[in-house]
């Protein structure tokens, strides 16, 4: 997903990416910061140790071939500090995560993403694109509060 967002130039340095608990891994924190320069908001599991995560946050060797590598080091340092501050208050993002779950439920239940009986990649891409378009249109039409989204998804 991050590769595609990066390829389309939709990721900016220090963007925050809210991820599901399924992405929880010390490695995923490092990949997001070091490869894509984004802040992953992955809800930590019990026993999360920031020091263990920080051990994986070594500067990529490719930056040392740049003549102004110290500037790049500062960018990485700022990203890691922001990540640590964000992880201290990850509960603040529970509402956003809940809203995302409701939007997925809307797409699955109301716009036929629950059963994808398609046999080619192109047909899957088309139905997903239409479903995403419909979710966007629904939200743009004023169904943008949690309770309204839940009502439409269950309708």
pLDDT tens across the length of the chain (155 residues): 888 888 889 899 999 998 877 788 899 999 999 999 999 988 888 888 999 999 998 988 888 998 889 999 999 999 999 999 998 888 888 888 888 888 878 877 777 666 777 788 888 888 788 888 888 888 888 887 778 887 777 77
83 with 120, same domain? no
- Are residues 80 and 106 located together in one domain of the fold? no
**Same domain flag for 137 and 111:** yes
Are 6 and 81 in a shared domain?
Answer: yes
pTM higher than the cut 0.75: no
* pLDDT in the model for residue 21: 73
Q: Among 38, 53, 88, which residue terminates a domain?
A: 88
Structural domain tally of the chain? 2
> Cβ distance 56 to 26 under 8 Å?
yes
In this structure, are 7 and 83 located in the same domain? yes
Whether 128 and 68 share a structural domain? no
pLDDT at 84: 93
On whether both 80 and 99 belong to a single domain, the answer is no
Same domain, 104 and 82: no
Q: What is the DSSP letter of 58?
A: P
Q: Are residues 43 and 83 located together in one domain of the fold?
A: yes
- For residue 104, the model assigns a pLDDT of 79
User: Which string of b and e fits 19-33 if b means at least 16 CB within 10 Å?
Assistant: beeebeebebbbebb
Do 38 and 101 lie in a common domain? no
- The domain boundary, picked from 52, 68, 88, lies at 88
Strand partners, 42: 19
Query: Do 14 and 76 sit in the same domain of this protein?
Result: yes
Give CA–CA dist 133/141, Å, rounded.
Answer: 12
Q: Does residue 80 sit in the same domain as residue 9? A: yes
pLDDT of residue 78: 95
As a whole number of Å, the CA-based R_g of the chain is 19
**Structural domain for 144, as ranges:** 95-154
Dist. CA 64–CA 21, nearest whole Å: 34
Q: End of a domain among 88, 112, 137?
A: 88
């Amino acid at each position: 997903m991050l590769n595609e967002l990066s390829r389309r130039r939709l990721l900016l340095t220090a963007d925050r990416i809210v991820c599901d608990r399924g992405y929880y891994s010390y490695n995923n924190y490092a990949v997001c910061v070091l490869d894509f320069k984004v802040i992953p908001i992955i809800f930590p599991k019990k026993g999360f140790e920031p020091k263990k995560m920080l051990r994986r946050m070594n500067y990529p060797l490719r930056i040392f071939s740049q003549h102004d590598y110290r500037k790049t080091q500062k960018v990485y340092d700022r990203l890691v500090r922001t990540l640590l501050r964000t992880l201290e208050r990850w509960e603040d993002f529970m509402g956003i995560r809940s809203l995302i779950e409701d939007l997925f439920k809307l797409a699955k239940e109301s716009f036929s993403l629950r059963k994808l009986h398609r046999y080619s990649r192109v047909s899957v891409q088309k139905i997903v694109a239409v479903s995403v378009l419909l979710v966007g249109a629904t939200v743009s039409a004023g169904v943008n509060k949690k309770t309204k989204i839940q009502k439409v998804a269950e309708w």
